[in-house]
Amino acid sequence: MKVAVVTGAAQGVGLATSELLADSGYHVVMTDVQPLDDQLANLRSGGRQLSAISGDISDSGFVSELASKVQRDNGGADTLVNNAGISLICPAEETSIDQWQQVISINLTAPFLLCQAFGKQMLDRGSGSIVNVASIAGLHGVIHRTAYNASKHGLIGLTRTLAAEWGGRGVRVNAVCPGWIKTEMDARDMGSGAYSDDDIINRVPQARFARPQEVARAIAFLAESDGFINGVSLPVDGGWTGDASWDALRIKTRRPATSDENKL
């Protein structure tokens, strides 16, 4: 049975990805800084094969322990999904060094250490696949998100470099770049008053937020063990990054939002 490790698996994209990969026949090792008992019990009740290890991925000691435990208990990982991340909405000139370092540590340094630890297992075996969850904020600038955007741009750079370095040794590394998704992260960010549903919906050609399951499907597609896709950063954004139109033009050309698919 193939083994996938998913970080940030307690909720949102990580939980949806754990469920989808388990449904696709993987044994999924869920990991998160939060407890995972309830999620594990729910997903296992469907007959899926999963286990869980809680810990903080910004602690390099935990990353080493996690990789050793997966090697010992599961024979190593075939797939790593670096999904865990935190957001920060703050003007650049007010972002403190502590805020900057926390975002870079969780969103960029931790995925690097996880790639190293699990990449070694994959390189030894001569096969494996890593999917990093970046963002459209890794492809373009977004105001008031300096640390977050820098971390996601860095994650895409890490993805491309590891894809080049490890592709010839059987390990592929790709990224997904979601647009705004309806998850707890979005609820927290929106709760701060930084933006509204309409701000996002008006900007997206497909006129809605992404769903966690849609991002999970893109992750599962890139994760397949014998693919030829390597080093890409795949937008899952309803057309956001391809669209340089102004809002009024985009909205004018839409059909009225009457069908269910146009709702959140």
Residue ranges binding ligand NAD (CB under 6 A): 7-8, 10-14, 32-34, 56-58, 83-86, 106, 133, 135, 178, 180-181, 183-186
- Give the nearest distance from C-beta 240 to ligand NAD in angstroms: 11
Tokens 């701000």 sit at which residue?
A: 199
- Give the nearest distance from C-beta 147 to ligand NAD in angstroms: 12
Q: Nearest residue to ligand NAD, using CB?
A: 12
Nearer to ligand NAD, 60 or 71 (CB): 60
SS3 126: coil
Nearer to ligand NAD, 63 or 253 (CB): 63
Positions marked active-site: 148
Instruction: For residue 3, give the H/E element and its range.
Output: strand 3-7
Nearer to ligand NAD, 168 or 202 (CB): 202
Nearer to ligand NAD, 8 or 128 (CB): 8
d(CA 37, CA 153): 33
- Give the nearest distance from C-beta 218 to ligand NAD in angstroms: 11
Query: Please, which residues have CB within 8 angstroms of residue 81's CB and are 6 or more apart in sequence?
Result: 4, 5, 6, 7, 14, 17, 21, 130, 131, 133, 219, 223
Do the Cβ atoms of 80 and 4 come closer than 8 Å?
Answer: yes
232 φ/ψ angles, rounded to the nearest 5 degrees: -90, 160
Nearer to ligand NAD, 79 or 135 (CB): 135
- Give the nearest distance from C-beta 258 to ligand NAD in angstroms: 25
- Give the nearest distance from C-beta 13 to ligand NAD in angstroms: 4
d(CA 19, CA 10): 11
Burial status of residue 132 (CB atoms within 10 A of its CB: 0-12, 13-18, 19 or more): buried
Question: Which residues, listed in sequence order, are joined to residue 84 by a DSSP beta bridge?
Answer: none
